[in-house]
Structure 1
């Protein structure tokens, strides 16, 4: 993987203007010149009046709807929508579904009900497949040439760019540096044995090592990605799993990954099975736990609780060298079946090119931009992303990708459900991996 510094985003404004015109039809024949002139004058007056009314008639207000799942930016996105309406007169309605909700299922229900938001958010690779026929080609938009190249492939089909990558995100184990110091941990663990030893030191210091959550997406997507992304060739490995020529149950690296999960589950809070995402992050931000398996996307939520929290991102130990994981979490997709796709494109262009839009992206959203023409805001992205940037520059070979979107929709939800069972000690490790294999087999067969 090439070395990368913190990325930046660009955008150029596009406003839609419309005008009205009217044509006078003053024709008519008469042998009486006076009557003809009067009639012509009356017709002209009527037409002029109609023209004036048409010109002065207020333009029909336009509302575009955004259906999205990043709960972390919901408040800032609403403020950005207000700023856009103030500048352009176009109203942007935001509907957010995330956290514990199944966004994919809710979006499909929305579309099945005949609702067609102008902009939807979608992951890439196989996760984008259900929406390809709705996606407007954005290849020629002003920001498209400035995309970070690694963000492009996951949302492209047949050479066409079908979405705007929203941001670059990264995760490993976000940790509280002050709590590590309090427990006497001076070197970050590089192996599972060292991670287990670090957890023991934290416990002895009266500190709970891990903030856990019951959220299926955290368990079935981010946690399980660690096993898949560290394969020698993740794409080929997942293809073989889908083809049935390999299984998770017989894979040595996946079995080793189970030990990582066991360490995390054994060293988390007692109420993990009833802890949702918001509570997990809030309690971590309050200093109750030493580590959390989330990335830079939680920075804004943490800052609301304690902006002075001394955080860093450490790589996740597994086989060989420990790793961090990066990718595009979501893409803005313009829906060609909606009422106002051109206005939707104009909104995205404004977001990416106007000074107001760029400020929201880089500062209010706290994004690591996926478009190089928007400078990242070092103060906004915070300590977690800064640690990732430093690590990725120094150890590019230890930066792995996000692989979950290579599975067809519905599989990661089943991965998460199986992980919840395992967290609750209702199944054993071999049953967990067996459920993973069955989830893939059942959906691929369809």
Structure 2
């Protein structure tokens, strides 16, 4: 989920440049200045993030925060730094399988009761290791599914949201009759395709944890998933009714098109609120729970507190690093960044209003218990990228549906713990 808007590019490059310069001077900084190195795998609410850093520095004279925002290819960059023994003082990764692989570097928060009390228990649970230790602190709740353009649906005469695959196809035909591309799926991004696929993997009776557990113990196979073959029907609709050359559409183009009335549906999450606003603050968008079969009750909107911040247990400035992580995730300024800048629901306890209309839209589904958890963060390492690649191959006719299903099963079986 790596969003990176063009208008923020200069800021990100500047901050990354500052980090690089700081690295060159590391060990030779002024004796009266402490530099805290932070790795942030996002480019959300950058203006508010910068304000937050300024406030922290103002409250800590002699402290400099060097932030590397790495929204694109963040895990490769982070892994490269760690392999070079250049471990940031504070860094974030996806919770679940990926986070577990970094916990050997993590400070254990289990005894910091006053800090943990600031967060919702369900959010804290996402940062626990297999022994129940709290090894990281949660960021925001994120919700994903199909997002649709209300104005384009109205123009096409779609008065009822589709809740089955047949209804989704009928909606595509109505959009096509008005010359409106139904989809701008970011087919260039393997992570988008993999996240799309998890809707079709979901068994609502098992939820995400149950699905991954049964895949791991062999009780469940991809070929036996009741809705997984409908994934290929969905991709066929994307190819037939969506924008041309979907495998050339990246996440930024996808979001730009739906915000500017150039396509009716994308797959994304409410993490993209700030980029959608930057493209068109007047866009009328909302979640469309994903139709995955013939039963309206099986539609899915997936929700999780899925990004988590780790403090390097061997940081030269451990107490400062702990304070900074707590600050950005639970302080008034941190809540301002998350609620106003990002437009998402924080993992910490908050009374602030959430700016993002997508996050607020998702609240209604959450309140009605119509959401499920995330499978892709529980998948074996490397699975999402591999599955996304298989689906790209399917979209251009290089793999059949049966070949994709077999390849997905083979990868999972070999990579699972």
TM-score range, shorter chain: 0.7 to 0.9
1:178 matches 2:155: no
- 1:406 deviates by 1.7
Distance in structure 1 (CA, Å) of the matches to 2:333 and 2:415: 44
Distance in structure 1 (CA, Å) of the matches to 2:200 and 2:71: 24
- 1:167 deviates by 0.1
1:342 matches 2:319: yes
- Segments of structure 1 that go 5 or more residues without pairing to the other structure are 1-57
1:147 matches 2:119: yes
Distance in structure 1 (CA, Å) of the matches to 2:96 and 2:365: 26
* 8 Å CA contact retained: 1:121, 1:330: yes
Structure of greater Rg: 1
Q: 1:343-370 CA distances to partner (integer Å, 9 max, x unpaired)?
A: 1111122234543333223212222111
Equivalent residue number for residue 131 of structure 1: 102
Equivalent residue number for residue 10 of structure 1: none
Distance in structure 1 (CA, Å) of the matches to 2:200 and 2:139: 25
Q: 1:12-34 CA distances to partner (integer Å, 9 max, x unpaired)?
A: xxxxxxxxxxxxxxxxxxxxxxx
Distance in structure 1 (CA, Å) of the matches to 2:99 and 2:211: 20
* 8 Å CA contact retained: 1:134, 1:336: yes
- Could you say what secondary structure the match of 2:140 adopts? coil
Among residues 50, 66, 71, which one is paired with 1:98 in the alignment? 71
Equivalent residue number for residue 389 of structure 1: 363
Paired residues, number: 380
- Could you say what secondary structure the match of 1:262 adopts? helix
1:197 matches 2:170: yes
Q: Which runs of 4+ in 1 moved over 4 A?
A: none
Q: Under a length normalisation based on structure 1, what TM-score does the superposition of the two structures give? A: 0.80
Distance in structure 1 (CA, Å) of the matches to 2:330 and 2:120: 16
* 8 Å CA contact retained: 1:142, 1:349: no
Matches within 5 A, 1:32-431: 60-89=32-61, 90-99=63-72, 101=73, 103-139=74-110, 140=112, 142-157=114-129, 158-213=131-186, 214-220=188-194, 222-233=195-206, 234-319=208-293, 320=295, 321=297, 322-372=299-349, 374-378=350-354, 380-381=355-356, 383-393=357-367, 395-396=368-369, 398-431=370-403
- Could you say what secondary structure the match of 1:425 adopts? coil
Q: Under a length normalisation based on structure 2, what TM-score does the superposition of the two structures give? A: 0.85
Distance in structure 2 (CA, Å) of the matches to 1:439 and 1:105: 20
Q: 1:115-155 CA distances to partner (integer Å, 9 max, x unpaired)?
A: 01011112222221211111112231534113222222221
- 1:76 deviates by 3.6
- Segments of structure 2 that go 5 or more residues without pairing to the other structure are 1-29
Please give the root-mean-square deviation of Cα atoms over the aligned residues, in Å: 2.1
* 8 Å CA contact retained: 2:45, 2:337: no
